[in-house]
Amino acid sequence: MNTKHRYRLLSLATLLIFLGWNGAAQAQNDTIVKAQKIMYDSQVAVADNTQESDYESSAKKKHCIPERRHQVSIGYGILSANQVGSILPMFFCMHHSNNPIYRQRYTYGAIQIGYDFRITKVVGVGIQYVCEPTISKLYNNQELACKFNLTTHTLLPTLKINWLNKRVVTMYSKVGFGVTFSQSGIKNYQPDQIEIFPEQQRVFFAYQFTLVGIELGNTQHAGFLQLGAGMEGWFCAGFRTRF
């Protein structure tokens, strides 16, 4: 092989090496560009998601949507509508003696369990169940003549307005209307002297007006005290939790 042929082969080899290096460099550049584009798209997606999340958060704050919308409570009230005798089922008696007759009544208070759904931080709707056992005793000449056991079960759909919302203090008013079902039993110990005629009505109109209530605690757990009139009592205290 002469010098001219060697020169041509060397030039061809040099050209091939140059073209190969140039192609590899171009491929590397394309890979870098693709990687940069993927990173950019990811950053744009993250920014969009963050913006959307911020928008949703601001929308919730704007419309006062609470984070914990469900509330369960348990409480105890005194001086309810049953205790003051406004809707309490009664019994009537007829005695056949001249002995003095008097009656004593005992109540265990209004035991209540409730559920509320908070539409907003201000407005909520719910339902309350109130159970109140009562015992009436009739005495004839200082001897027990009759015992009347009564238990009322009340269902009250309610509307609750939280008109003050602070970090640890919430103040509210509430109104509710529903029905009361009565369950009674009578024991007559002197049937020859006293006749008992229980009231036949078993379903009564029920109500609750809470003028003001206060909750002390955090957004999840709190105790409450309320003042009003109705089936839950003039005075009621208890505990509530949200989830």
Residue type, 103: R
Query: Six-digit token pair at 103?
Result: 């009656």
Summarize pLDDT for 129-188 with one digit per residue, the tens: 999 998 888 787 778 878 888 889 999 999 999 999 998 999 999 999 999 998 888 888
Query: Six-digit token pair at 5?
Result: 């042929």
Give yes or no: residues 80 and 30 share one domain.
no
pTM as predicted: 0.68
Give yes or no: residues 196 and 111 share one domain.
yes
pLDDT value, residue 186:
80
Look at the chain and report how many structural domains it folds into.
Answer: 2
Name, in order, each residue with C-beta under 8 angstroms of 208's C-beta and a sequence gap of 6 or more. 128, 156, 158, 174, 175, 176, 177, 228, 229, 230, 231, 232
Q: How far apart are CA 157 and CA 161, in angstroms?
A: 14
Domain boundary at 63, 87, 109, which? 63
Give yes or no: residues 160 and 76 share one domain.
yes
CA torsion sign, 47 to 52 to 53 to 54? positive
Give yes or no: residues 152 and 233 share one domain.
yes
Give yes or no: residues 21 and 93 share one domain.
no
Give yes or no: residues 28 and 81 share one domain.
no
Residue type, 241: T
Give yes or no: residues 54 and 106 share one domain.
no
Q: Which residue has the tokens 């049937």?
A: 191
pLDDT value, residue 218:
92
Give yes or no: residues 56 and 85 share one domain.
no
Q: How far apart are CA 66 and CA 119, in angstroms?
A: 8
SS3 of residue 204 by DSSP: strand
Give yes or no: residues 31 and 8 share one domain.
yes
Give yes or no: residues 47 and 96 share one domain.
no
Q: How far apart are CA 99 and CA 152, in angstroms?
A: 32
pLDDT value, residue 46:
52
Which residue segment(s) compose the domain that 238 sits in?
A: 70-242
Q: What is the CATH number of the domain that holds 155?
A: 2.40.160.20
Tens-digit pLDDT string for the chain (243 aa) = 555 555 555 565 555 555 555 554 555 556 555 656 666 666 655 555 555 555 455 545 545 677 789 999 999 999 998 887 655 555 555 555 566 666 777 788 999 999 999 999 899 999 999 999 988 887 877 788 788 888 899 999 999 999 999 989 999 999 999 999 988 888 888 777 777 666 666 888 999 999 999 999 998 999 999 999 999 999 999 999 999
Residues in the chain: 243
Give yes or no: residues 50 and 76 share one domain.
no
Give yes or no: residues 93 and 202 share one domain.
yes
The closest of 150, 166, 74, 84 to 112, measured between CA atoms, is 74
